[in-house]
Amino acid sequence: MSAIASQPATGTLAVNDPATGKPIGEVPIHSLREVQEAAQRARAAQPRWAATPLRRRMEILREFQRLLCEQKAQVTSVITREAGKPRAEALATEILVVLDYVNYLVEAVPEFLRSESVRHTNPIMKLKRGTLLREPYGVIGIISPWNYPFSLPTTQVLTALITGNAVVLKPSEFTPFTSMEAHRLLLAAGLDPDLFQIVTGDGAAGAALLRADIQKIIFTGSVATGKRVAQAAAARLLPVVLELGGKDPMIVLEDADLDVVSSAAVWGAFMNAGQTCLSVERCYVHESIYDRFLQKCAEKTGKLRVGNGADRDTDVGPMIHQRQLQTVREHVEDAVAKGARLLCGGTPLPRLGPGFYAPTVLADVNHSMRIMREETFGPVLPVRSFKTEDEAVALANDSEFGLSASVWTSDTRRGEALARRIDAGAVMVNDMIACFGIGEAPHGGVKASGIGRTHGKFGLEEMVWPKYIDSDRIPRMKKLWWYGYGPEFFQQMSGFIEFLFHKKLRIRLRGGSKSTRSYLRRKLL
Ligand code: NAD
């Protein structure tokens, strides 16, 4: 049961520790009116912020970075308590990512926001000076999931703020307290509270945000909710970014280092209990190393310590809620019923708590099984063999998703060539998931994995709209294409087109002269 479903409509929402199932606090369920008021406050404050010198905006980010570095232990505890992940993992995949992302923003944004002069190719248009500006949208609505409750929304919030926007964030109902940590630190760093507001509640609060006075929505979550968000946004022509689910393939070529690649598969599948949009959801291994690879993966999986993320020794924590655990159960059962071999795991671990599931390695899976087609989002590594590179590429691309992928080989060039053939927003050669921690790397997918990007240059572009300003260098001259139509104008334009585009030099020159003569004979209105 979700935390929401167990709640009477009292106006508050309980948040549970996924390791124990026990409540750790509650947050208000904000009404449509409250969400709309938050957006209005943000809207009123935003023009002042956009006019604030970039230097000052960057100072606030730097101060936020300093405070986060200092208070990392506290933020990490909050993440672990409500998302369940091991504390060291929270440091590596949440805090570090955000700290580093601030460096990226501070370095990239001055150049990104600098006005750009636009060169004109058309000779007549050279009489004009073009300038491209990047304008903040206004208020960016951000709706986020629970699996990376700090790094996902915070990197989006920081990108929106530094480019001059205000933000209203609706965090997941399972992990609102983590977002409040980001909020607390940004306010302590000097940000005006109206510029970054958090509204809490379940899907209804997200739906309310879509009806509020926001100018763009950045949604991260499941495909099903993403479609609902896209429909609501379409009804009011609200621009959207959708960061949705994945079914990421890992391709292991025969020349890959077996020890390295088996460790990679185990980490890539079980990190955050498999609840990572970029985690290994399908693993394809060359037949010549298939058995040895499976044996190593099963051995290494057997050594993982499953438990409460707050314990120092824990490798794999709990799943976020029962619904998620049930999906994993069903996918594993379906695979085994259709002939997959269970090498280890395959069961919940109720003695540890309600949300624990044993890290599971499944061999001999195929694409008729749900585990190879639907997002499992749990601690399962399903593996099958392939014979040729072509077959591996076909299997990797045989999915409705296209978020990320990885290719493993000791021949980097071969890996890169294969990477180009895979339909995914990012493909890593000899690594996985880490692209989310590279500020410059655009994050996002193709196919059902979403629309648009966060992070990197493309992520910055999502936070602004381009404005083109054009100044004529000869303001006292009437334009050649204005009224005063008639046969001469036709001759002028026809000659001009020949001058610009005809393949033969003789005709081009003749066109130029015809155009000039006709122009001189014309009387412009
Ligand atoms: P979810 O779709 O259930 O919820 C996401 C957010 O949407 C929550 O805040 C929720 O309250 C809100 N919401 C629910 N209904 C809504 C509605 N009708 N209108 C507006 N908002 C609504 O997803 P989840 O279970 O929180 O997260 C898991 C999913 O997120 C997985 O599919 C995972 O792959 C995906 N994900 C994607 C990325 C990415 O970057 N592509 C990153 C992390 C997670």
Catalytic residue, candidates 173, 243, 374, 375: 243
Answer for the pair 359, 301: CB distance below 8 angstroms, yes or no: yes
Q: Residue 482 to residues 267, 470, 473: CA-CA distances in angstroms?
A: 67, 18, 17
Cα of 226 to ligand 1 centre, how many Å? 7
The pLDDT > 90 percentage for the chain reads 98
How far, rounded to the nearest angstrom, does the alpha carbon of residue 393 sit from its chain's CA centroid?
A: 24
Of the candidates 278, 283, 251, 254, the one whose C-alpha atom is nearest the C-alpha of residue 266 is: 283
Q: Which atom of ligand 1 is nearest to the CA of 232?
A: 19
Catalytic residue, candidates 173, 277, 281, 297: 277
- What DSSP character marks residue 310? T
Tokens 């992070």 label which residue? 455
| Structure confidence at residue 471 (pLDDT) | 97
Q: Is 243 among the residues known to form the active site? A: yes
With a 6 Å cutoff on the Cβ, whether 366 touches ligand 1 is no
Q: Is 435 among the residues known to form the active site? A: no
With a 6 Å cutoff on the Cβ, whether 442 touches ligand 1 is no
How far, rounded to the nearest angstrom, does the alpha carbon of residue 125 sit from its chain's CA centroid?
A: 39
| Structure confidence at residue 111 (pLDDT) | 98
Cα of 203 to ligand 1 centre, how many Å? 9
Q: Looking only at Cα atoms, what is the longest distance across the chain?
A: 94
Of the candidates 151, 159, 166, the one whose C-alpha atom is nearest the C-alpha of residue 109 is: 159
In whole angstroms, what is the distance from residue 184 CA to residue 81 CA?
18
- What are 218-255's pLDDT values in tens digits? 999 999 999 999 999 999 999 999 999 999 999 999 99
Q: How confident is the model at residue 3 (pLDDT cuts 50, 70, 90)?
A: very low
Cα of 327 to ligand 1 centre, how many Å? 16
As to burial, measured by CB atoms within 10 angstroms (0-12 exposed, 13-18 middle, 19+ buried), residue 342 is middle
Over 60: is that where the pLDDT of 5 sits? no
Q: What share of the chain is helix, strand, coil (3-state, %, to 5)?
A: 45, 20, 35
Of the candidates 47, 33, 11, the one whose C-alpha atom is nearest the C-alpha of residue 194 is: 47
DSSP string, 441-485: S-B--EETTEES-BSHHHHHHTTEEEEEEEEES-TTS--TTSS--
Q: How confident is the model at residue 429 (pLDDT cuts 50, 70, 90)?
A: very high
Burial 5-24 (b: 16+ CB within 10 A, else e): eebeeeeebbbbbbbbeeee
In whole angstroms, what is the distance from residue 452 CA to residue 458 CA?
8
Q: How confident is the model at residue 128 (pLDDT cuts 50, 70, 90)?
A: very high
| Structure confidence at residue 45 (pLDDT) | 98
| Structure confidence at residue 359 (pLDDT) | 98
HSE-CB for 170 with a 13 A CA cutoff: 30
Reading the block at residue 159, the tokens are 């990108």
In whole angstroms, what is the distance from residue 276 CA to residue 256 CA?
24
With a 6 Å cutoff on the Cβ, whether 244 touches ligand 1 is yes
Helix (H, G, I), strand (E, B) or coil at 79: helix
Residue nearest to ligand 1 atom 15, measured at CA = 203
With a 6 Å cutoff on the Cβ, whether 452 touches ligand 1 is no
Reading the block at residue 431, the tokens are 């690594």
pTM for this predicted structure: 0.96
DSSP string, 219-258: EES-HHHHHHHHHHHHHTT--EEEE-----EEEE-TTS-H
With a 6 Å cutoff on the Cβ, whether 453 touches ligand 1 is no
**Number of residues in the chain:** 525
Reading the block at residue 346, the tokens are 């395959």
In whole angstroms, what is the distance from residue 435 CA to residue 156 CA?
16
- What are 441-493's pLDDT values in tens digits? 999 999 999 999 999 999 999 999 999 999 999 999 999 999 999 999 999 99
Cα of 400 to ligand 1 centre, how many Å? 18
With a 6 Å cutoff on the Cβ, whether 376 touches ligand 1 is no
